[in-house]
Structure 1
């Protein structure tokens, strides 16, 4: 495989390391496209969940250019949304994915999380939609605190009985939103969000985890080298038999150096 720096298996998790985030995003997208085509050759429809974050930019851009996918047979979800931001806010995750992916590829169905709805009603509505059929694929990232979706360490639960829930965002998570350039300062970042739970995410048949950049190196070290614990929620990915994690030399640096 071109530009592949390293590949390794950690527990059940396949890890591929590329030279930089551009190549990482391109190669992850190629793998997702191949799996989509394979599934669509055997099924009438597939169901996918996407993450909204700057770490996904190169991956999403490559995905929009892929040829030969019948997106009209794709039902798409996203995995989290802020509570308290108006529908017009540029930081809304649904808007992020709409602008960077959905408006271009035009999936047959897109289910957006409506955090302006009653929280209890929205959790039930979205849970019902997610439960209609199994999820085929999840494309996700890892936060600086090791979160997947908005399952920060204080609220992460590997046996969570909920499909989607409201959570308080921890300080590291909120500061990351400033670091990523999504908000100008910490006080502008919402303190609550809706998130798909960890069991919902890992119940999918195939997971593709895109983790570029030096700012993710500490989280990636704990994910790959530490114990499997909610102190680093992403560590649960090591128990999924069909998950590939895509890193670059920057994000993998602390793991490589022990």
Structure 2
């Protein structure tokens, strides 16, 4: 069991820093597995939202070493580009299919259909699925501009009545997608996506956030020190008693500078 090299609380948010990204992922996976087992023991089933993207690689890889009752889990994802089909290399449906459904075989995986004929109707459909029963666990990251899912700075709504909506990516998020290798250039990067809202993400009984890599350090530092506002949506985590933030030395490197 990995032990943090540093831990503290920012507002209501416990923060744990691990010696490496691998150890961070292992700790997050162990916690997620325990939450899922407890939910299944209590309710016979668990409903889990899992983020996609490079920041989740260590966590998802470490899940392979955990005892998880996947046959009693319904898995959701938290966003998808509008207009992208499931075979596109950047599709979050494809990411979930290859890294969650195929290796773990959950009882059910509910996908956001990015190339649905009507994106708003698809957001409505997915929101209805999310609201059928409480969410037990949300596993997510933090964007380079401080976004959660695709809830962008200044456009995010902490009191949103919707649980899923069509959003417009900021130029910073477009550049992040290019930088992570999902698209070759700005012209080919979708500018809209269907995203779970912040109230949906934070409604879960447990929320865990994995934010590794130096490119996330500024956003992490802002999340832990800036005023809670939509200027940096991740600041809302400090008011979320069900959340926990997992870091490693590179992503935690600017915390002291902004404290």
Where on the TM-score scale, by shorter chain, does this alignment land: which range?
over 0.9
**Would you say the 8 A contact 1:61–1:101 is kept in 2?**
no
CA distance in structure 1 between the partners assigned to 2:132 and 2:2 by the alignment: 39
Q: Which residue of 1 aligns with 2:211?
A: 211
What is the TM-score normalised by the length of structure 1? 0.96
Q: Which residue of 2 aligns with 1:80?
A: 79
1:13-24 alignment, distance < 5 Å: 13-24=13-24
Question: Which structure 1 residue ranges, 4+ long, deviate > 3 Å from structure 2?
Answer: none
Q: Which residue of 2 aligns with 1:35?
A: 35
* 1:64-110 Cα distance to aligned partner (Å, 9 max, x none): 3323x221111111000001223310110011011012211111011
CA distance in structure 1 between the partners assigned to 2:38 and 2:205 by the alignment: 13
CA distance in structure 1 between the partners assigned to 2:62 and 2:225 by the alignment: 30
Q: Which residue of 2 aligns with 1:111?
A: 110
**Would you say the 8 A contact 1:64–1:101 is kept in 2?**
no
- 1:154 aligned onto 2:154: yes
Q: Which residue of 1 aligns with 2:45?
A: 45
For structure 2, list consecutive stretches of 5 or more residues without a partner in the other structure.
Answer: none
* 1:130-171 Cα distance to aligned partner (Å, 9 max, x none): 110011100000000000000011320101121110011001
Q: Which residue of 1 aligns with 2:226?
A: 226
**Would you say the 8 A contact 1:49–1:137 is kept in 2?**
yes
Q: Which residue of 1 aligns with 2:10?
A: 10
**Would you say the 8 A contact 2:165–2:196 is kept in 1?**
yes
Deviation at 1:3, TM superposition (A): 4.6
Q: 1:111 to 1:230 in 2, by over 3 A?
A: same
Counting matched residue pairs gives 257
Deviation at 1:120, TM superposition (A): 2.3
CA distance in structure 1 between the partners assigned to 2:238 and 2:214 by the alignment: 21
For structure 1, list consecutive stretches of 5 or more residues without a partner in the other structure.
Answer: none
CA distance in structure 2 between the partners assigned to 1:189 and 1:65 by the alignment: 35
Deviation at 1:48, TM superposition (A): 0.6
Deviation at 1:119, TM superposition (A): 1.4
Question: What root-mean-square deviation, in Å, do the aligned CA atoms of Structure 1 and Structure 2 show?
Answer: 1.2
